[in-house]
Amino acid sequence: MTVKDYDRDALVVSISDVQPGAGKLVMTLALAAVLAQCSREAMRTYQSIDAIDVCLVEVKGRSSDFMETLHVTSPTAADLARSGQKITKNSVRKHLVYNDELGFHTFLAPAQDGDAEGMTPEFYRDVVTVLREMFDVVILDTATGPREEPYLQMALQESDHTLLVASLWMVDDTREWVQKWGVDTADVLITRCDRNSWDEVKAPLAGVSFAGFFPPHVLDGALETDDRGNLMIDTSKMEYPGLFQLGSFYAEQVGRVLARPATLM
């Protein structure tokens, strides 16, 4: 995998899918959690490095996909857009949600589609510019569909690396997506794919760069809640090529390392 040569403060990663159902939500949350949690473990282990500050941004012109999963409803991007405030570190910071269990901040899309007024692609571009100065890694979660294309285009332009999540049965759509958007720094992550199916996927996608694959059972039960209703990411279910390895690639880009906690739950 390769990233753009960049001299800005944070690494920006966009995560997209070719159509719903590929498992992007799970992969996005799990990647953010692994970067945050495993970098904290490395900080405790080596005592000479800093943990990775991670911010997850929903770049959408519609309602949030993460509210129900994260059990939060506000503040949102819509609140900032309606406030009339300039987009600064201070105003953006007030509209971030922090999840202590997972260890990262989130900039949420609104609860309803009708609340998205003012949340233009340029609005998000300004937010990302500010977040680059506040965090080590900024993850842009994008959506599919014609209405979302301007937001996706902005996210791809602002990103140093793009991760495209697709399931085993989305091979044709994946090829079309790569051809349409022509992203040089995009890598495809195939979900619900086992080793036996891996060669079948790679053949029709010749020339496409891959981040690897995750077996069919990995996404099932990866999102769990504890007895208090808090969301937990069972990263132990993330197998070859491994969410830890993927996170380590991104950590290396910002000069950090990851270490496996005693439990990755």
Residue 226, exposed/middle/buried by CB under 10 A (0-12, 13-18, 19+)?
Answer: exposed
One digit per residue, pLDDT tens: the chain, 265 residues? 555 454 457 899 999 998 888 889 888 998 998 899 888 888 888 877 888 999 999 999 888 999 988 888 889 999 999 998 999 999 999 999 998 888 899 999 998 888 878 899 999 999 999 999 999 999 999 988 888 999 999 999 999 999 999 988 888 888 888 888 887 778 898 888 877 887 778 788 888 888 888 877 776 666 666 666 666 666 555 544 477 888 888 899 888 888 876 554 4
Q: Hey, what are 229's tokens?
A: 């209703």
Instruction: Assess contact for 78 and 28: CB atoms under 8 A.
Output: no
Q: Which residues contact 220 (CB under 8 A, 6 or more apart)?
A: none
Rounded-to-integer distance, Cα 80 and Cα 93, Å:
10
pTM beyond 0.85, yes or no? yes
In degrees, rounded to 5, the angle at the alpha carbon of residue 103 between the alpha carbons of residues 101 and 109 is 100
What is the residue type of 158?
E
The residue ranges of every structural domain in the chain are 11-253
CATH of domain 11-253: 3.40.50.300
Give which of 119, 67, 52, 128 is closest to 97, Cα–Cα.
67
pLDDT at position 6:
46
Strand partners, 58: 141
Task: Specify the DSSP element, H or E, that contains 122.
Answer: helix 121-132
The residue whose two tokens read 């105003």 is 91
The number of residues in the chain equals 265
Q: Which residues contact 80 (CB under 8 A, 6 or more apart)?
A: 87, 91, 92, 94, 95, 127
